[in-house]
A and B are shown apart, each in its own frame.
Chain A
């Protein structure tokens, strides 16, 4: 659920140590992540930024447990997911992680409420109950009148709101967003980020956003800049000062 909570005592949500990842073999081998060390706290909005091909998406894929690193450790809320088997990772994802994608990835042929309910249905929750919960969440993201519509009936911003509702329905502790605003205009993108900022204020939750959209940097608590598969800098954003972006 989307709630705003002020709670300064933050715990470690994501801990990545010595992470390496490459693709391909032999001469075609491409080393995309080099010795990544990173810690993200719960109740925070973290941006991973950098130019295309710098390894941002690979990093969040490993962080979310859908890619496996060659070496290194990834611990999410105390669970060393690098030690989990594939099926255990899938279970961990459906219970703990919410995903928001650049292209929304909504199923065109089911209603918005059903799209939102998918994570609960995957968990085995009865269809009716899952839909009821999805309807509540859609109302919270301002789409109470679009419950029985289909994604094709919505604007890009509305579709991304449905995707956010879907990402939050199983009350995840980690929300991973891949370029959530790149398919949206500036105003809609800002609205989406404001919504995600509210989501990130939950002290039990950590939001990670991959983006190269510098218009939205001001919403971040922490900016992790990557370059050539390495973390170039980590910058804390002080929201008490005027925005430097």
Chain B
């Protein structure tokens, strides 16, 4: 009877399309809202991804990449002394007042990387050379985040905390949630720009030896130094959690998602229910002939599942495609992870199950005697 159920579903193209379109739009809205949320959250952690270190060590009071408690340089040595550490380098993150020669002024984030290894400096240099960062007063600017200073070029000068700096390179970096321009320099120069800071280190970037897993090394670092250590993704999630908790993004997008869930449920339930109503006489005939209730319920569930799978496939496919063609550094923060597709699938299953249950209740209540009514 499931083949018959399938043909009943596909046979009436107009009704079938109504069902699928209703669900597709619900899935598209859900996936789109979810993708924007994921895109925004990923941007809060763009600096972490660009740095690329597998282990991040911070002061125990630090709550995210953007909310750190600075550490002394000696902490780097303590971390290096932990067995299993391949390398450990400092990374500084501080805010400074930047002023262009044209008089544009604003806050900039200054990231200081290890002078010797330059670990922490993102890949993607578009102009200039990495090694020039060691020149006196040299900074490398993240392209795309410096427009407010008149899009400076290599060779241009800045005032940074009242000290003269020169742009020696431009980097193509990921879009960040933070609106402030980022300037990369070395840790030594950070200490020059911020002479008052006795604790210049914000993070210690660590790489494990091949003989030890990152997870085990994290445990060892925490035990032996008293500092907090995180794997890359744990630190990413910590940062996302910080932004989520402090910006209201989840609530605002969550309301949208909730509305979509309600609308999606109503659309799905209503269209599927209407489809069942349209087939009341057919189901009544099946009941008169002697179909078992469980078979009838199975047919409705099957029809509902098919609509759900098709609607989800199209809806999530369209949104995923839009995500793919969205340029990586566009203004639209948009990322559709596989987990989001899974979550929307579960939600769609919920819509369809609810719609199917309502329809099944209706179908099971059909009086087979209706078949004798003209």
- A interface residues, Cβ below 8 angstroms from B: 57, 60-61, 64, 66-67, 87, 90-95, 97, 99, 101-103, 105, 107-110, 114, 118-119, 121-122, 127, 178-179, 182
CA distance A109 to B282 in the complex (A): 11
CA distance A119 to B289 in the complex (A): 7
| Chain B residue at minimum C-beta to C-beta distance from A87 | B292
Q: Smallest CB–CB gap between B231 and chain A, Å?
A: 53
CA distance A176 to B8 in the complex (A): 25
Contact of B8 among A94, A101, A110 (CB under 8 A): A110
Q: Smallest CB–CB gap between B16 and chain A, Å?
A: 9
CA distance A94 to B287 in the complex (A): 9
Determine if A90 and B4 form an interchain contact, defined as CB atoms under 8 angstroms apart: no
**Assuming the A-B contacts A94-B290, A109-B8, are A127 and B3 also in contact, with contact meaning beta carbons closer than 8 angstroms in the complex?**
yes
Q: Smallest CB–CB gap between A128 and chain B, Å?
A: 10
Q: Smallest CB–CB gap between B278 and chain A, Å?
A: 10
Q: Smallest CB–CB gap between A33 and chain B, Å?
A: 13
**Assuming the A-B contacts A95-B290, A179-B374, are A101 and B285 also in contact, with contact meaning beta carbons closer than 8 angstroms in the complex?**
yes
Which of B4, B287, B289, B374 has the most A CB atoms < 10 Å from its CB? B289
Q: Smallest CB–CB gap between B36 and chain A, Å?
A: 40
Q: Smallest CB–CB gap between B196 and chain A, Å?
A: 79
30 A–B contacts, CB within 8 A, in A order = A60-B372, A66-B287, A66-B288, A66-B368, A67-B369, A90-B290, A90-B292, A93-B288, A94-B290, A95-B290, A99-B285, A99-B288, A99-B289, A99-B371, A101-B371, A101-B372, A103-B281, A105-B371, A108-B11, A109-B7, A109-B10, A110-B7, A110-B8, A114-B4, A118-B289, A119-B289, A121-B3, A121-B4, A122-B292, A179-B374
**Assuming the A-B contacts A60-B372, A178-B372, are A93 and B290 also in contact, with contact meaning beta carbons closer than 8 angstroms in the complex?**
yes
Determine if B286 and A61 form an interchain contact, defined as CB atoms under 8 angstroms apart: no
Cβ proximity bits B272-285 to A, threshold 8 Å, 1 near / 0 not = 00000000011011
Q: Smallest CB–CB gap between A160 and chain B, Å?
A: 14
Q: Which residues of A contact B281 (CB under 8 A)?
A: 103, 105
- B interface residues, Cβ below 8 angstroms from A: 1, 3-4, 7-8, 10-12, 281-282, 284-293, 295, 368-369, 371-374
**Assuming the A-B contacts A57-B372, A103-B374, A108-B11, are A94 and B289 also in contact, with contact meaning beta carbons closer than 8 angstroms in the complex?**
yes
Determine if B374 and A94 form an interchain contact, defined as CB atoms under 8 angstroms apart: no
Determine if A94 and B282 form an interchain contact, defined as CB atoms under 8 angstroms apart: no
CA distance A103 to B288 in the complex (A): 14
Determine if A92 and B12 form an interchain contact, defined as CB atoms under 8 angstroms apart: no
CA distance A8 to B78 in the complex (A): 108
Determine if B282 and A107 form an interchain contact, defined as CB atoms under 8 angstroms apart: yes
Q: Which residues of B contact A105 (CB under 8 A)?
A: 281-282, 284-285, 371
Determine if B372 and A109 form an interchain contact, defined as CB atoms under 8 angstroms apart: no
Q: Which residues of A contact B293 (CB under 8 A)?
A: 87, 90
- B interface majority secondary structure: helix
Q: Which residues of A contact B374 (CB under 8 A)?
A: 102-103, 179, 182
Determine if B285 and A122 form an interchain contact, defined as CB atoms under 8 angstroms apart: no
Q: Smallest CB–CB gap between B17 and chain A, Å?
A: 14
| Chain B residue at minimum C-beta to C-beta distance from A119 | B289
CA distance A66 to B285 in the complex (A): 11
Which of A61, A178, A179 has the most B CB atoms < 10 Å from its CB? A61
Q: Which residues of B contact A67 (CB under 8 A)?
A: 369
Determine if A122 and B295 form an interchain contact, defined as CB atoms under 8 angstroms apart: yes
| Chain A residue at minimum C-beta to C-beta distance from B373 | A57
**Assuming the A-B contacts A101-B372, A107-B282, are A91 and B4 also in contact, with contact meaning beta carbons closer than 8 angstroms in the complex?**
no
Q: Which residues of B contact A119 (CB under 8 A)?
A: 289-290
Q: Which residues of A contact B284 (CB under 8 A)?
A: 105
Contact of A66 among B7, B8, B10, B369 (CB under 8 A): B369
Given contacts A90-B292, A99-B371, A105-B282, 16 further A-B contacts (CB under 8 A): A66-B369, A91-B290, A92-B290, A93-B288, A99-B285, A99-B289, A101-B371, A105-B284, A109-B11, A110-B8, A110-B11, A114-B4, A119-B289, A122-B1, A122-B289, A122-B290
Q: Smallest CB–CB gap between B87 and chain A, Å?
A: 66
Q: Which residues of B contact A61 (CB under 8 A)?
A: 369, 372
Q: Smallest CB–CB gap between A59 and chain B, Å?
A: 10
Q: Which residues of A contact B285 (CB under 8 A)?
A: 99, 101, 105, 107
Q: Smallest CB–CB gap between A94 and chain B, Å?
A: 3
